[in-house]
Structure 1
Amino acid sequence: MLKSYLKTAWRFLLKNKTFSLINIVGLATGTLCCLYILLYVQDQYSYDKQHKDVKDIYRITTSLELTGDKHNSATSSPPITPAMKNDFGEVLQFTRLVGTEGFGAKQHLLRYKEKSFYQQNAAYVDSTFFDVFNFHFVSGNANKVLAEPYSLVLMKPVADKLFGGEDPIGKMISIDNSFGKHDFKVTGVIDESAGQSHIKVSMFMAMNSGGLGQYVRQNTAWAGNNFLYAYVKLRPNASAAALEKKLPDFLNKYGADQLKAIGMKKALHLQPVTTIHTTPGHEHELTKTLDPAFLYIMILVAVLIQVVACINFMNLSTARASKRAKEVGVRKVIGAGQGDLMKQFLGESFMLTLIGVAIALPLLIILLPYLNQLTHTDIHLAFFSNYKLWIMLGGMVVVTGLVAGSYPAFYLSAFKAIKVIKGNFTSHISAAGIRKSLVVFQFWLSIILISGVIVIYSQLNFVKNKDLGFDQNQKLIFNFYTETTQGKMKNFANDLRQMAEVKTVSNADNYLSQFVPHDHGVYTAGGNMATATDAQNIITDEFFAKANGIKIIAGRDFRIGDTTRVLINETLCKRLGISPQAAPGTRLYTQYAPDPVSFVEVAGVMKDFNYNSLHMEVKPFMLVYRNDPRQFNVMVVSTDSKNYKSLLGKMEALWRKDIADAPFEYSFLDTEVQKQYETEVILSQIINAFTLMAIVISCLGLFGLAAFSAEQRSKEIGVRKVLGASVTGIVQLLSKDFVQLVLIALVIATPIAWWGMSKWLQAFEYRVTISWWMFALAGVLALIIALLTVSTQAIKAARMNPVKSLKAE
């Protein structure tokens, strides 16, 4: 019996090639998109699952409130986790990690024999790091791998680049950065083959080394200095919730005096390490997190795209009912029951689905590199050895086959044998109404996705063109990563100033658009640290404001010798309760016990500018003047050149003269500014791609329906042409119904798209205003797409010789 069903289904598919091709292409495309999205979501939720006893590993996060400013940080202070290990029996082990980038060491110059190159994303970690976290060791052993001072564990790509085919274990390499130059011993090489982690570090340096590691070990700050990532591993069956309830008293025991001295409120929390990658909202994350709402949207898009492909099958099957009515009648007359017919039609659905999956899988393998590039992930073919994938595929085949085939099976098998044999194949089920509803659904989805593309593009365009309050154009950024290169910055800057194309050269410890690691509370006379305003700051020379085009609206810019002066922004003025005109000359005080009270004097007030991403509002901010070259590691060069090839060639020649032992590297400030929106750009690319797929699948179904509509009305078209109807009139006649369906879809989709994009835009403090034209444009585009699809068949039908259709009977 099964063989008979399959044989019949196969013969039907071969006989109806256009019908079969449209459905197979639609199902293959839908399955490809759906499967990749599901793999992508699974990949995002797989972070940190590989660690042993991972359910017992937690990160210490910190909630801070200082003079009304609230912060929820992924970091904490250095002495917290060692004290937790000492005070709480529930804590089996702790470990800490501190990235070097926030402390001026953005790049590290690595040397081994004749090889040398810059490497970023380095961190100091406690010797217990690999006791808490499990990585796959390519070389070396996790036990006590970081126990010795100046020991080093490398990620495999770095080790391969440095050592090639040599065994790296025991080799000594030189690491030169802003903390000095030291020799490190390679004790291990790891990779990510065990699984992905939120800890994306290229090399792990022992915390019991000098430099930053020594600073962490000696740090006793319980209130401030929330700059490192701290983790605890609890004993089996220990309650994280119970431990977290003990943390307020614990913090008060050690840090009450320090917190009171600076007027800070602070709370500690335990965050399961497996939730870090998919829990946004913490400041200072080690790597970018992903909003689970985005993943839910992706899953919804995957399901809807597959449903759109199923709708094509339903619509085309019911549209061809007249072609199969007599077949159903004859089968019923010779004894086939409704159940037998349903099995046959479901068999056709499953066969099409299986063919679609069989095409989708090799296509996925071929397109995987492009799709990974699109989503900035590394989903690889190892997934195909994962049993979850095959369960996923099996589930997709079953669900798709049932969803696509159920309605046509019920509809076709419900025909009354006597009626259809006589030529009356109407059914008590309203197929035309359901077909129209399904077409509306397809274009409802397409219009929502097109609207999303338009709004996201508008916001990215707004971000790109918004006046940030400083000049980001024609600015070159040079970083000086080592003590040696920092010592030569002055000579290089002086040489650059002699170039005709160079307008201004400034030295600083950071540049605009980058995370600002420095902040401290300031207050005016009569205040104290309990009433202080927390202000972020960048240390600069006297040229920074001019080099970046920052406007001074009161007072003056820096001058040489302004060693105790600052420039503050309008927001800081407002928070301090002073007007910009009265601010110049005002003293700002600060104190962090046991240090005495210190002060700076306001030289001028800067017009507010967006020194950070447009996701955030402008906060209190100041530039702090220094004339000590040792505090600078960034150079901002403002130019007016139109020939960058020539300009960079001259600059490289000066670099080789002044800093011969370091690679010549640079970046453009406007490019760095746009990097702040990489997540949104990726989202835009993903939505663009899957919107295109949804539209293609919808158009396939619409093409098929238009073809069958033209076929069913061929005699009517012939009569109209004989009576003088024009090609344009006939095209309008055949297109009218589909246009109405698209307009209905637009009305239904607009409020949903409006709501969804309003929620997305809330992530930006500065954003575009959603306007009616965005949805009108989406509707017009959907209408044009539908008309182009339908008109190809309508024109073909309208141009057909009426004699052929009229003499058929």
Structure 2
Amino acid sequence: MIKNYFKTALRSLLNNKVFSLINIAGLAIGTICCLYIIAYVTDQYSYDRHHRQVADIYRVNSLLGITSGESEKASCSPPIGPAMKLELPEVLEYTRVVPTERLGAKQHLLHYQDKSLYEKAAVYADSTFFNVFTYHFVYGDNRHALDAPYTVVLKKSLSDKLFGETNPVGKVIEIDNAYGRHGFKVTGVVDDRLGKSHIQSAIFMAMNSGGMGSVTYNSTSWAAYNYVATYVKLHHGAAAAALERKLPAFLQLHGAAQLKEMGMKKELHLQPVTSIHTTGGYDNELSKTVSSTFLKMLLLIAVLIQVIACINFMNLTTARASRRAKEVGVRKIIGAGMNDLVKQFLGESLLLSLVAMLLALPVLALVRPFLNAVTRADISMSFMADYRFVLLLLGITIITGLLAGSYPAFYLSAFKPINTIKGQLNNHISAAGIRRLLVVFQFVLSIVFISAIVVIYFQLSYIRHKDLGFEKQQRLVFNFYTDDSKGRIPAFMNDLQQLSEVKSATMADNYPGQVISKDWPYYLEGKDPASSNDVAFIFSDENFAKTMGIRLLSGRDFRAGDSGRALVNEAFCKVLGLDPLTAVGKRLYPKDYQGEPGNFLEIAGVLKDFNYTSLHTEVKPFMLRYQPEYGKDIVVVSTSSVDYSGLLDKVAAIWQRDFPTVPFTYSFLDEDVQRQYETETTLSGIINLFTFIAIFLSCLGLFGLSVFDTEQRRKEIGIRKVLGASMSGLVMLLSKDFLKLIGISFVIALPFAWWIMSRWLDAFPYRVSLSWWMFALAGAGALLIAFGTISFQAIKGALANPINNIKAE
């Protein structure tokens, strides 16, 4: 019986090559998208799941309350982790991690024999790090790898660059950074073989290795220095909720006095380590996270694309029902029951689904690099070796086959044998109605996707062209990562300013478009220190505002020797209760953790608000502090050159003279600023790709229906043509019913698209306003695409010889 079903199904596919090809292509494309998205989402959720006893590992997050608002950080103060292990019985072990970038060492120049290279991804870690987290050690011992000061564990990719394929354990490398040049003994090499981690570092240095690492290691501040990522591993079976309930009293016992002196409120919360990569919204994350909402949206897109492909199958199969009606009638007369026919037609759809799956796998392997480029991911085909993936493939094949074939199977098997042999199909009208409904559903989804493309495009365009309050064009940025090179920055700047293309240059410890890690609470002279407000700041020289094109509202810019003066922005004046036009000359006092006022800062001028961080956040209190002698490692140059290649050649020659042992590196400020929106750019690429696929699948089905409709009406077309109908009239006749469906789709899709994109734009304090024409553009686009699809077949039908159409039987 099964063999007979298979033969019948295969014969049906071969006898209807065009429709079979459309169905297989649609199901294969849908399956490729579905498989890749599932692999991508699975990969994102796989982070940190390989650690031993992972269900017992938590990160300690801080909710900080200050006068100007609340901040939720993926970090806390240094002594919290050690004290939790010492005093709370649920805690088996703790470890602390600090990216060196937060501590002023943004990159590290590594030396071994005659090899030198830069590496940015570095962290300080406690000796207990590899007791909490599980890494695969290619070389070395995980138990004591970071016990001693000035020891280091390297990632294999970095180790291979320095040592080749040899075992480097016991060898000493020199690491040159903001804290000087020190020798570090290599105690281990690790790789990602076990799985991915949110702690994405190539260098793991013992925290008690001097510099700010040792400062952090020895800190006793329970209120300040909230930059330390702290993790605890609980005893197996210990309840995290019960432990979290103890944290308020624990923090009150140790930090109440310091928090009161600083005018801060603080709460501690536990977060499962497995949820870190897929949970956003925290400051001080160690790596980029991905929103779980975004991942769920991708899964929904995968399902919808697969449904669109299944709808094509349903539509084309039911539309061609009349071709198989007599077959159904004959089979029923010779004894086939309804169940037999349902099995036969479901078998055909399952066979199509299987063929589509077998076609999808090699095509997915071919297009995977392109899909990875769009999603900025690194999805390999290794997931195919997992038995769970094989089960997933089988499940998708069966579900797709049953979903695609269910309605056609029951529709075809319900025909009455006598009527079908006579050519009377009672179900024809209801089937046409179902087909129209399914076409509307397809294009509702397509119009929503197109609307998303339009809105995201205009939002990204708005971000690119919005006046940020500073000039980002024609600005070169140079970073100096070693202590030795910083001492030669003034000479480098003097040499640069001799170039005719250089308008001005400034030296600072940060610049707009980067995370500003320095902040401190300040209060106005004569006010209660408890009224202090947290303010982010950058140390700079007297040329920063001029070079960056930041405008002054009142007062003056810095001058050489302006020690103890600051430029504040409008937002800071607002929280201080100052009028920006009369704030000049006012004094600000820092609030340190002992509660004693330090040296005051005098306001020299007020800056017009500018977006020193991304447009995801509103402008917050900010100030520039004049302090040219304080560890600045960045030079920003304003240029007037249009020949950047020539200018960079000149700068490279100066660099080689001033920094002969340091690799020449630079960046463009506008590109640095734009990198803040990588998530939105990636989302745009993903939406563009899958919208194109959804539209293509919808049009593929529409094309198949238009082919069928034209065939069904060929005699009518021939008669109308003989009676004088024009080609344009015939094209509109064959197209209007489908175009009406697109119009209905637009009306239904509009409120959904408006609501979805409104919710997406809510994440941006600075955003475009939704307008009717954006959605009208999406509707017009869908209409034109659909008309182009239909008109091809309509024109072909209208051009056919009417005599052949009329006499054909």
The alignment's TM-score, normalised by the length of structure 2, stands at: 0.99
Where does 1:20-31 land on structure 2 (aligned, <5 Å)?
20-31=20-31
- What residue number does 2:627 align with? 626
Give 2:37's aligned residue.
Answer: 37
Q: Name the counterpart of 2:528.
A: 528
Who is 2:54 aligned against? 54
Structure 2: distance between partners of 1:440 and 1:656: 65
Amino acid in structure 2 at the alignment position of 1:352: L
How far residue 389 of structure 1 moved from its aligned partner, in angstroms, is 0.9
Structure 2 counterpart SS, 1:755:
helix
**Correspondence list, 1:501-580, <5 A:** 501-580=501-580
SS in 2 for 1:572: helix
In the alignment, the residues of structure 1 paired with residue 316 and residue 173 of structure 2 have an alpha-carbon distance, to the nearest angstrom, of 68
CA-CA distance at 1:596 after TM superposition:
4.4
Would the aligned equivalents of 2:476 and 2:668 in 1 still touch at CA under 8 Å?
yes
Contact 2:68 2:575 in 1 (8 A): no
Question: Quick one: which amino acid aligns to residue 610 of structure 1?
Answer: N
Which residue is 1:323 aligned to? 323
Q: Given the alignment of the two structures, is residue 265 of structure 1 paired with residue 265 of structure 2, yes or no?
A: yes
In the alignment, is the contact (CA less than 8 A) between 2:158 and 2:202 conserved in 1?
yes
5 Å-filtered alignment, 1:274-285, equals 274-285=274-285
Question: Contact between 2:56 and 2:233, CA under 8 Å: does it hold in 1?
Answer: yes
- Tell me, yes or no, if structure 1 residue 730 matches structure 2 residue 730: yes
Work out whether residues 111 and 117 of structure 2, in 8 Å CA contact, stay in contact via their aligned partners in 1: yes
Gaps of 5+ in 2: none
Paired residue type of 1:235: H
Who is 2:100 aligned against?
A: 100
Is 1:521–1:529's contact at 8 Å kept on the other side of the alignment?
no
Please state how far the C-alpha of 1:428 moved relative to its aligned partner.
Answer: 7.7
Residue 403 in structure 1 maps to residue 403 in structure 2: yes
Identity %: 57
Hey, what's the Cα distance between the residues in 1 that align with 2:195 and 2:561? 54
Q: Secondary structure at the match of 2:524?
A: coil
1:134-149 matches, within 5 Å, as 134-149=134-149
Mapped partners of 2:494, 2:508: distance in 1: 15
Q: Which residue of 2 aligns with 1:223?
A: 223
- Which residues of structure 1 form unaligned runs of 5+? none
* 1:437 corresponding residue in structure 2: 437
- Residues of 2 paired with 1:698 and 1:428: CA distance? 22
Residue 422 of structure 1 aligns with which residue?
Answer: 422
Q: Distance in 2 between matches of 1:480 and 1:103?
A: 15
Between 418-427 and 22-31, the greater mean CA deviation after superposition: 418-427
- C-alpha separation between the residues in 2 aligned to 1:565 and 1:504? 22
Distance 2:301 2:591 in 1: 54
C-alpha displacement of 1:148: 1.6
Partner of 1:607: 608
Q: Match of 1:663, SS?
A: coil
* Partner-residue secondary structure (3-state), 1:609: coil
Deviations 1:249-285 (A, max 9, x none): 1111111111011100000000000010111111111
Distance between the aligned counterparts of 2:192 and 2:666, measured in 1? 30
| Structure 1 counterpart of 2:175 | 175
Letter in 2 for 1:14: L
Q: Specify the alignment match of 1:690 in structure 2.
A: 690
- What do residues 492-528 of structure 1 show as CA deviations (whole Å, max 9, x unaligned)? 0111111111111100000111111111111112223
**2:336, 2:187 → 1: CA distance?**
75
Structure 2 distance, partners of 1:316, 1:364, is 25
CA distance in 1, matches of 2:417, 2:514: 75
Counterpart-to-counterpart distance in 2, 1:802 and 1:277: 65
- Post-superposition offset of 1:429: 7.3
The code of the aligned residue for 2:566 comes to: V
Q: C-alpha deviations, 1:471-507, integer Å up to 9, x for none?
A: 1110000001000110110100111111111111100
| Matched residue type, 1:254 | H
Superimposed CA distance per residue, residues 635-668 of structure 1 (whole angstroms, 9 cap, x where no aligned partner): 0100111111111111111111111110110000
Between the aligned partners of 1:147 and 1:158, the Cα distance in structure 2 is 21
CA shift digits 1:667-701 (9 cap, x unpaired): 00000000000000001111111111111111111
The amino acid that maps onto 1:277 is H
For 1:516, what is the secondary structure of its paired residue?
coil
Question: Contact 1:477 / 1:668 at 8 angstroms: preserved in 2?
Answer: yes
Asked if the contact 1:512/1:612 (under 8 Å) is kept, the reply is yes
Alignment of structure 1 residues 127-526 onto 2, 5 Å: 127-427=127-427, 430-526=430-526
For 1:59, the aligned partner's letter is: R
Return the alpha-carbon distance in structure 1 between the equivalents of residues 290 and 756 of structure 2. Answer: 18
1:344 maps to amino acid: Q
Residues 445-471 of structure 1: per-residue CA shift (max 9 Å, x gap): 110111111111111000000000001
> Is the 8 Å Cα contact of residues 223 and 593 (structure 2) preserved in structure 1?
no
Match of 1:71 in 2: 71
Counterparts of 1:116-135 in structure 2, within 5 Å, are: 116-135=116-135
Alignment of 1:638-787 (within 5 A): 638-787=638-787
Aligned to 1:803: 803
- Deviation, 1:620, is 0.4
Deviation string for 1:736-756 (max 9, x for gaps)?
A: 011000111111111111111
Displacement after TM superposition at 1:140 (Å): 1.5
In structure 2, distance between residues paired with 1:768 and 1:808: 58
> Cα deviations across residues 81-107 of structure 1 (Å, max 9, x unaligned)?
001111111100000000011222111
Equivalent position amino acid for 2:603 in 1: V
Deviation at 1:212, TM superposition (A): 2.2
Does residue 790 in structure 1 map to residue 790 in structure 2? yes
Aligned residue type for 2:621: P
The 2-side partners of 1:191 and 1:454 are apart by 42
**What secondary structure is seen at the aligned counterpart in 2 of 1:221?**
coil
Q: Deviations over 1:696-716 (max 9, x none)?
A: 111111110000000000000
Moved over 6 A (4+): none
Q: Is the contact between residue 591 and residue 598 of structure 1 (CA under 8 Å) also seen in structure 2?
A: no
Name the SS of the counterpart of 1:523 in structure 2: strand
Which whole-Å CA distance do the structure 2 matches of 1:143 and 1:484 have between them? 35
* Distance in 1 separating the partners of 2:17 and 2:151: 67
CA distance in 2, matches of 1:51, 1:627: 46
Residues in 1 aligned to 2:202 and 2:772: alpha-carbon distance in whole angstroms: 48
Partners of 1:529 and 1:329 in 2: how far apart? 91
Deviation at 1:627, TM superposition (A): 2.5
Q: Contact 1:124/1:212 (CA < 8 Å) preserved in 2?
A: no
Secondary structure of the residue that 1:266 maps to in structure 2?
Answer: strand
The question of whether the paired residues in 2 share the 8 Å contact of 1:411 and 1:429 is answered with no
2:507 and 2:544 in contact (8 A); partners too: yes
Q: Note the C-alpha offset of 1:413.
A: 0.5
Aligned AA (1:600): L
Secondary structure (helix, strand or coil) at the match of 1:611 reads: coil
How far apart, CA to CA, are the structure 2 residues paired with 1:332 and 1:300? Answer: 41
Aligned residue identity for 2:626: Y
Q: Alignment partner of 1:617: what SS?
A: coil
With normalisation by structure 1, the TM-score equals: 0.99
